[in-house]
Chain A
């Protein structure tokens, strides 16, 4: 919504007439207000109710018989579904999504009730995986991003946990596999959703998961790389029966990841929605990602890891500029700055040398920024010509 102050300024500079300014104000006032606050509060209310329902079930409510409990739950589900169908017909998007969230919580509550009534053993991740499977069709009917995003994060988290507990490997080794492969899994799921399901919200959820898992992978690898290196090179050798096989397995996993990266790179090249500069940024991110995980095989220095992380964070920041997401640009620039700062303490150690290093870097950053600002257009057009 354009502020009145800006309109008055334009009128005073004769850019628009007073009549035009009044017309703009009228037009803006008739636009629907930002619904996110309402939606957020409604969703919070629903989530609290949902948690309350689950807690009631967890309290082993023994006052009524188990067939009655199950019947009440199923009736509630049917009534919710019928109401959802009516809301869909009346095109009431916010109410629909709010009730859909309640419906999904009710499904989870029902799973909890069934496990309680029939004393079914099992872990929370198994219940969540089952919930993800049965509610997949329902989340496709959501109007906004919120519900598919919750579903994607729940599904991925429970899948990762399932993998972690059912694989006979140390925790740090599992982290390697998950960090290495998860961003690609999310990216491919996003592509599959876009191509075959044509579900924008679900596709966007997987894209967000790709970015989040990519950032987590970089941070984890950067933070844990000494332990990871020890794990790969020496801790795997604890299994004396198969010695270096674990390292070979890691190389195979890395090669598999390279294949995924290659497929993704080809897709990026063919996708007409990406501008050339965006393609270059995405390819650079893929390369940097593979490089950083390849470093685990050799005794890489901390500085190399740090440089790789800062480079990735800067690439992400620039990419968010290209898609006009200013808040994310500032966020990732901030992260890159923090990592830059930590790097100096790692690399230089003492306060005096760190201070000199930081001053030099600050001057370097400012000089680069001024150069970029002056030559931005010619540089971008050069890159675009080169890439296309």
Chain B
């Protein structure tokens, strides 16, 4: 058992400080990032609601996204076949491995088995609104609002149904 009073205090404080830092970081990214809206597609409402979150694919309108095959190299068992990919939102061009230097805003993600993944393909919704929202998405045009940081990382800001926040729907 640790006998030092200061040490105990610090050890118990570290988890709280870490979580506060994470909250502050996420909030900062949400508020200061570049806001962009993208339509979402490729969802099947019958299977979509896994638990209480929505999964979807974002339509970036970038031709040939994740269509290039990964170059086969010699045996690399410890490398996962994910290609670091950047989409420049100015001209919707694709850049591999390195961020585009002349681009104002870009999104960072990975091409994995021909799918572009940015880590924002999931949106949490309340349990009691799940079925109602599912019906709304079936019939309307859905889109997602992303907050994009200067290094290309995206974070979900809101879900829109017919251009309006889903919480405003009746």
Chain B interface, number of residues (Cβ within 8 angstroms): 44
User: Judging by beta carbons under 8 Å apart, are A239 and B15 in contact?
Assistant: no
CB distance from A332 to the nearest CB of B (A): 32
A residues 156-177 in Cβ contact with B at 8 Å: 166-169, 173
Task: Report the separation of the CA atoms of residues A295 and B123 in the bound assembly, to the nearest whole angstrom.
Answer: 49
Residue ID in chain B nearest A119 by CB atoms: B156
**Stretch of A16-24, A57-65, A181-189, A340-348 contacting B (4+ beta carbons < 8 Å):** A57-65
With contact pairs A85-B12, A114-B26, A168-B77 given, residues A140 and B123 touching in the complex (Cβ less than 8 Å):
no
Task: Report the separation of the CA atoms of residues A58 and B130 in the bound assembly, to the nearest whole angstrom.
Answer: 13
**B127 partner residues in chain A, CB cutoff 8 A:** 59-60
CB distance from B11 to the nearest CB of A (A): 4
| Residue A49 CB within 8 A of the other chain | no
What range describes how many residues of A lie at the interface? 35 or more
Contact with B along A339-368 (1 / 0, CB 8 A): 000000000000000000000000000000
User: Judging by beta carbons under 8 Å apart, are A137 and B81 in contact?
Assistant: no
**B126 partner residues in chain A, CB cutoff 8 A:** 60-62
Chain B facing A: main interface SS: mixed
Chain A facing B: main interface SS: helix
**A168 partner residues in chain B, CB cutoff 8 A:** 76-81
| Residue A284 CB within 8 A of the other chain | no
Task: Report the separation of the CA atoms of residues A197 and B74 in the bound assembly, to the nearest whole angstrom.
Answer: 42
With contact pairs A84-B12, A119-B120, A140-B2 given, residues A134 and B72 touching in the complex (Cβ less than 8 Å):
no
| Residue A122 CB within 8 A of the other chain | yes
Contact with A along B98-138 (1 / 0, CB 8 A): 00000000000000000000011111111111000000000
| A interface residues (Cβ-Cβ under 8 A, vs B) | 58-62, 70, 74, 77-78, 81, 84-85, 88-89, 93, 103, 107, 110-111, 114-122, 133-135, 137-138, 140-141, 143, 166-169, 173, 239, 241-242, 245-246, 249
A to B CB contacts below 8 Å, 28 in the list: A60-B125, A61-B126, A74-B16, A81-B16, A88-B8, A110-B19, A111-B19, A118-B156, A119-B53, A119-B155, A119-B156, A120-B26, A120-B119, A121-B121, A121-B122, A134-B15, A134-B19, A137-B14, A140-B2, A141-B2, A141-B12, A143-B1, A167-B77, A168-B76, A168-B79, A168-B81, A246-B77, A249-B75
